Amino acid sequence: MQYRLNVSQIEIEKFLNLKCSKNSITVSNICSYSRPLQNSLLFIKNNKMPVEHLKGCIIFCPKDYDLNQGENILLRVENPKFIFSKVISNFAQRKLKQGFISDDVEIGQGCVIGDQVSIGAGTKILNNVVIAPGVTIGSECYIKSGAVIGEEGFGMVFNNSSMPERVLHLGSVFIGDHVEIGANCTIASGSIDDTRIESFVKIDDQVHVAHNCVIHRGAIITAGVIFSGGVEVGSRAWIGPNSTIIQRTKIGEKALIGIGGIVTTDVNSSQTVMGISSMPLRALSKALKKILD
């Protein structure tokens, strides 16, 4: 994460024009609900998200939230995600981080490398690549021309007037070793946690990886694939050309997504799915047979 926080409950209440508490706690982290940290600021969307497992957190929640708050402070508001976005935009501060680029990294013409970027030994970057501040790239990677890595994704929140506003992205992009990134790929920074591309992942040309995605070791992503936010791809999975994966979907290890697949539900490990809504291959064959008969 590229940002740090040190803010008290009373400071937040004053900023939001809420009634100030007599007692106050201070939080020093920002986290997502899916990757919780103690002593953090976060938001939750509904009554299906318990918080008892958290400790020492300030949590924006809906006004009708009625679950046990545990050892946390709940601030009940009309629009938790929007309020969270306003608060972090006001109080979060960028961390100072020392970047490092190995002496043997090859960088082509027209590249833009931001501050605090780290690039490991033996990595080769072709022409006109943009790497945003704070990105980490491992050793022996190969990044083809026109790739854009670490700029903010399409993270929006509706304000109290029901109009979309951009959310401050706190995360960055982490890329492991021996990773290949194809020409004109875009890999967006994480909204809170980093977007992660693990070692030995191979990504073909013109692929979009949205904020908060995690692509595990050795996965193969072919040309034209689009990942929506928060997708997780298992180790050694194969994603076929021009596939589209809906947000927060999980694809198991060694799974195979056929060409042009539209994936709207989780895919099990070693499962093969194809087509719209990505039916398992056996089920798809039966469906086609039934139609043809």
Active site residues: 211
Q: Do 22 and 73 meet the contact criterion of CB atoms below 8 Å apart?
A: no
Q: Between the CA of residue 198 and those of 132, 135, 177, 180, 217, what are the distances in Å?
A: 18, 14, 7, 11, 5
Query: Which distant-in-sequence residues (6+ apart) come within 8 Å of 270 by Cβ?
Result: 252, 253, 254, 255
Joined tokens for residue 90: 């006001």
Report whether 267 contacts 278 (CB < 8 A): yes
Look at residues 289, 291, 283, 266 and name the one whose alpha carbon lies nearest to residue 274. Answer: 283
Q: Are 65 and 47 in contact (CB under 8 A)?
A: yes
Spatial separation of the C-alpha atoms in residues 99 and 191, rounded to whole Å: 21
- Extract the tokens encoding 158: 């509706």
Look-up of token digits 């929007």:
82
What number of H helices and E strands is found in the chain? 3, 36
Cβ atoms of 5 and 22 within 8 Å: the answer is no
